[in-house]
A = this chain, B = another copy of it.
């Protein structure tokens, strides 16, 4: 498509007008093994088909940009037909899709757009920009490198520590140099059944972490993500143990709606604390967290 791409790039260069003609949410389903427990997050189960969504933004030139929306048992759902027709399209259709910053500001000022929807539309517009520039989007954004490090990770509630150890060894055998543990989250490992997030099971989580470190040796980078279920005291206790096990980070151990406990935790611990993940507020919130 280099010819088409070049021709569009030339139009862009010439400042020709371009308008968003349509926004569609393409729904489809995929095979997945994750199930939510009634208290949240998930557990692994038999394969089944679950709904997913894809946002497609089309211009009057027939160009398009895409973004996938994560869909997970009612979490982070793609926009509904009503949202798309009543809120998204009235704002976007007729606008120049290259004014990405302006459209982002409009969406952020509008109460009808969720942050996940704004993120998807933003990504679809950048995908379109990459096509207009006949370039990978990462270069349109100012390419600095074309590789990133990857780590393997786990479902939560995989089983006993041996199951995690086996999984980590398989990941290392496949070439991974780093591995992140999701241990017992919304799950009671003693009675092996779903449970509320609090009380959590930090001691059992540490047993998993110990088992994984013993299985992969000292050269593999390891992380733990307890998905915000710990109290402050539990976070401190687990953090100290992870330091002894030479883990690389402890990921958002506590509820992110309170920042002060995180400030205190980072003072007390040497291990990296990763966060925020789920706190809304886009980069405004992230700026507050950059301590």
Instruction: Give chain A's interface residues, CB within 8 Å of chain B.
Output: 36, 38-41, 73-75, 80, 82-83, 86-87, 90-91, 105-106, 108-112, 196-198, 228-229, 255, 257-259, 278-282, 284-285, 287-288
Q: Are B198 and A105 in contact (CB under 8 A)?
A: yes
CB-CB under 8 A from A38, the residues of chain B are: 90-91
User: How far does the alpha carbon of A20 sit from the alpha carbon of B108 in the complex, in Å?
Assistant: 38
Q: Is the CB of B109 within 8 A of A196?
A: yes
Cβ contact of A257, chosen from B87, B106, B284, cutoff 8 A: B284
A90 CB to nearest chain B CB (Å): 4
- What is the CA–CA distance of A91 and B109 in the complex, to the nearest angstrom? 33
Q: List 7 A-B contacts (CB under 8 A).
A: A38-B90, A41-B111, A73-B86, A74-B83, A108-B255, A109-B198, A257-B285
* B110→A40 contact, CB < 8 A: yes
CA distance A39 to B41 in the complex (A): 34
Given contact pairs A74-B87, A87-B74, A198-B105, A112 touches B284 in the complex (Cβ within 8 A)? no
Given known A74-B82, A86-B73, contact A39–B284 (CB-CB < 8 A): no
Tell whether, in the assembled complex, residue B284 and residue A258 are in contact, meaning their CB atoms are under 8 Å apart. Answer: yes
| Bound-complex Cα distance A280 to B83 (A) | 20
Complexed CA–CA distance, A36 and B83 (Å): 13
Least CB distance from A252 to B in Å reads 13
Measured CB to CB, the nearest residue on chain B to A284 is: B257
CA distance A112 to B288 in the complex (A): 25
Give chain B nearest CB distance to A79 CB in angstroms.
10
Contact of A86 among B74, B108, B111, B198 (CB under 8 A): B74
Q: Which of B74, B80, B83, B111 contacts A278 (CB 8 A)?
A: B111
Residues on the B chain within 8 Å of A197, using CB: 109
**A106-B282 CB under 8 A given contacts A75-B111, A75-B112, A112-B75:** no
